[in-house]
Amino acid sequence: DADVTQTPRNRITKTGKRIMLECSQTKGHDRMYWYRQDPGLGLQLIYYSFDVKDINKGEISDGYSVSRQAQAKFSLSLESAIPNQTALYFCATRGQGASGELFFGEGSRLTVL
Amino acid sequence: GENVEQHPSTLSVQEGDSAVIKCTYSDSASNYFPWYKQELGKRPQLIIDIRSNVGEKKDQRIAVTLNKTAKHFSLHITETQPEDSAVYFCAASLGNKLTFGGGTRVLVKP
């Protein structure tokens, strides 16, 4: 089954550490997204990408960076993690067209102590 | 940018009753409105969507209505069942960006 895979699924780290969350997909989609989920705040867009040469900031990009290494890979980095970045992070791909469905990965739960 | 408000944040219903979740959006140019369901510990998944040129869409026990003039849309679940317990998210899309509402936690009591 074509899918969206995130690693790691769970990570505990300390303030100031660099963290990378990786996402790979076998759906063949060009559009990839990183969302952050906090209780009561829904899903907030961090970054999105249409291809390896196109990276766009979302609503809450401060403190994050991304890399689109290939059509199938889109990684999210926290250069110096802080406690308020503790959250559940979702990678997603999107099908073709204006009505394309978002397909989410299983999520990466990050805890910053 | 787009802003999506979703109400209520929590909703408790008796099994068999109906549930209604409402969302408003700010950008009148938004043209696609999906709804996602997230079961406990799982990833969000699309359950129904509607385009701006349609006023209502149904799929078995769920339906979505859209009022473009008022810039609001709603999810209706009829004959609720325990498996409908989940968090539901509305979203509004313009082009490549989807903006989500804050989510509604629905609890169906047996």
Residues from chain A that touch B101, judged by Cβ atoms under 8 A, are 42
A14 close to A21: Cβ distance less than 8 angstroms: no
- Spatial neighbors of A27 by CB under 8 A, at least 6 apart, are A2, A3, A4, A93, A95, A103
- What is the Cα–Cα distance from A73 to A29, expressed in whole angstroms? 11
| Mean pLDDT, range B21-25, rounded to an integer | 98
- Cβ–Cβ below 8 Å for B102 and A105: no
pLDDT tier at A17, thresholds 50, 70, 90: very high
In B, minimum Cα distance to A41 occurs at B102
Average pLDDT in chain A: 94
| Mean pLDDT, range B45-68, rounded to an integer | 94
Q: How many residues does chain A have?
A: 113
The arrangement of strands across the sheet holding A19-25 comes to: A4-7, A19-25, A73-78, A65-70
The pLDDT of residue B60: 96
Block residue for tokens 């968090």: B87
Q: Is the pLDDT of residue A2 over 70?
A: no
| Mean pLDDT, range A13-37, rounded to an integer | 96
> Measured between CA atoms, how close is B110 to chain A, in angstroms?
25
Q: Is the pLDDT of residue B95 over 90?
A: no
- Count CA atoms closer than 13 A to A105's CA, side-chain side: 31
Please tell me whether residue B82 adopts helix, strand or coil conformation: helix
Say how many CB pairs under 8 Å bridge A and B. Answer: 55
From the list A31, A41, A99, which residue is nearest B102 (CB)? Answer: A41
Q: Is the pLDDT of residue B94 over 90?
A: no
Q: Is the pLDDT of residue A112 over 70?
A: yes
- What is the Cα–Cα distance from B33 to B4, expressed in whole angstroms? 11
CB atoms within 10 A of CB A47: 22
Phi/psi of residue A99, each to 5°? Answer: -105, 20
In B, minimum Cα distance to A109 occurs at B41
pLDDT tens-digit series, residues A41-100: 789 999 999 988 999 999 999 999 999 999 999 999 999 999 999 999 999 999 888 778
| Mean pLDDT, range B61-79, rounded to an integer | 97
Tell me, yes or no, if A48 comes closer than 8 A to chain B by beta carbon.
yes
- What is the Cα–Cα distance from A55 to B52, expressed in whole angstroms? 27
